[in-house]
């Protein structure tokens, strides 16, 4: 019986969800359909008895074939940065297809405070949450995933090279969480027998402002890192000066705007309730990944 389905199975999160389903939770690979635009990338899993199917949210027909027989389905949100509205269209196609396939429970990866967030693509997540609520699906779990600790590796290696981290986040904090911990949570939600409707916010146990992150990274790497406060407009100009297209620079700057407005400061016990575990602390994650902060920025 193939009753559990993971979309976006070739992505970073999707791969770790498959890992946690099989290795952490002991789910038989024969129960799992790994759906992706790139089934050929999943040979390692199909050799172990998993089923790989082609699924592209831009191709509804592919979803009808891919979702056939699934009872519980994880929709991993897509990654269309700088294309407002595109993710929402993609997610709506996935939810519609889940309904047509008779799926009983959809798990969806959203973002914290979806309806109230200044993150530029938050409306895509809010719209998806609303579509789930308005759907005829018997049950769903919205997992509002907090900011990955891995996101720090986008800006900080180049900031480490100069020792200056230009930030418009002010003293706003984020309860960063490792992507692998979120994959464990998504696997737990998918494999559970929860059949109702719930919205969980999954993040670390405490928030960290940029100055505190800089202190932890400096301690772990033995290299200086100072936060240089800038305005949102100057941050956007700086990113564009470094070669980022304006829509992408504006998207990244919206993360700082949301942080500065203290809108990421949502700490809950939901991670522990779902998994029975505490997430890795940011300090421990930074220590374990110290070398990546000082790697030459690509
Ligand atoms: N909380 C955070 O800090 C944070 C950070 C980054 C991203 N995210 C969100 O979380 C998601 C998973 O993160 P990640 O680290 O795994 O990102 P990633 O490695 O960049 O993966 C992107 C994901 O989007 C899927 N995707 C893209 N276009 C698709 C389409 N047309 N149809 C179906 N799936 C499509 C990919 O699936 P396949 O390649 O398997 O088809 C893949 O799972 C991201 O897509 C994004 O929405 C959250």
Structure confidence by residue, pLDDT tens digits, 115-166:
999 999 999 999 999 999 999 999 999 999 999 999 999 989 999 999 999 9
In a domain, 238, yes or no: no
In a domain, 234, yes or no: no
The CA 24 to ligand 1 mean position distance, Å, reads: 22
The CA 292 to ligand 1 mean position distance, Å, reads: 22
User: In which band, very low, low, confident or very high, does the pLDDT at 83 lie, cut at 50, 70 and 90?
Assistant: confident
In a domain, 107, yes or no: yes
CA distance 266 to 263: 7
Report which ligand 1 atom has the smallest distance to the Cα of 41.
Answer: 40
Q: State yes or no: pLDDT of 298 exceeds 60.
A: no
In a domain, 27, yes or no: yes
> For residue 94, what are the domain limits?
4-146+177-203+266-278
In a domain, 167, yes or no: no
**What is the count of structural domains for the chain?**
1
Report which ligand 1 atom has the smallest distance to the Cα of 147.
Answer: 3
In a domain, 250, yes or no: no
For ligand 1, residues with CB inside 6 Å are 7-14, 36-38, 56-58, 76-79, 90, 109, 145, 147-148, 151, 179
The pTM of this model reads: 0.97
> What CATH code is carried by the domain that includes residue 49?
3.40.50.720
Structure confidence by residue, pLDDT tens digits, 245-292:
999 999 999 999 999 999 999 999 999 999 999 999 999 999 999 999
How, if at all, do strands 32-36 and 4-6 pair?
Answer: parallel
In a domain, 195, yes or no: yes
Neighbours of 281 (CB within 10 A): 18
Of 46, 16, 44, nearest to 32 by C-alpha is 46
In a domain, 80, yes or no: yes
Of 55, 3, 11, nearest to 28 by C-alpha is 3
Report which ligand 1 atom has the smallest distance to the Cα of 15.
Answer: 16
């Amino acid at each position: 019986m193939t009753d559990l389905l993971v979309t976006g199975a070739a992505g970073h999160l999707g791969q770790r969800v498959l890992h946690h389903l099989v290795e952490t939770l002991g789910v038989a690979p024969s129960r799992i359909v790994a759906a992706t635009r790139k089934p050929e990338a999943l040979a390692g899993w199909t050799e172990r008895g998993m089923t790989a199917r082609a699924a592209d949210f831009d191709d509804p027909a592919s979803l009808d074939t891919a979702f056939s027989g699934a009872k519980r389905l994880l929709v991993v949100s897509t990654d269309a940065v700088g294309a407002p509205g595109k993710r929402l269209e993609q997610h709506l196609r996935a939810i519609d297809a889940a309904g047509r396939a008779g799926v009983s429970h959809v798990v969806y990866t959203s973002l914290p405070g979806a309806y109230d967030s200044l993150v530029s693509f938050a409306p895509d997540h809010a719209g998806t949450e609303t579509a789930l609520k308005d759907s005829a699906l018997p049950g769903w779990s919205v997992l509002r995933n907090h900011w990955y600790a891995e996101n720090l590796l986008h800006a900080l290696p180049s900031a480490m090279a100069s020792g200056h981290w230009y930030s418009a986040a002010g003293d706003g904090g984020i309860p960063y969480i490792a992507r692998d911990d979120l994959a464990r949570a998504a696997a737990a939600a998918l494999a559970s027998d929860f059949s109702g409707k719930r919205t969980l916010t999954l993040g670390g146990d405490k928030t960290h402002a940029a100055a505190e992150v800089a202190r932890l990274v400096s301690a772990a790497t033995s290299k200086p890192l100072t936060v240089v406060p800038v305005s949102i407009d100057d941050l956007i100009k700086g990113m564009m000066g470094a070669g980022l297209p304006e829509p992408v620079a504006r998207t990244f700057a919206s993360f700082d705007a949301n942080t500065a407005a203290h809108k990421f400061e949502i700490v809950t016990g939901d991670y522990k309730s779902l998994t029975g575990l505490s997430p890795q602390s940011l300090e421990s994650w930074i220590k374990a990944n110290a070398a990546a902060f000082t790697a030459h920025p690509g």
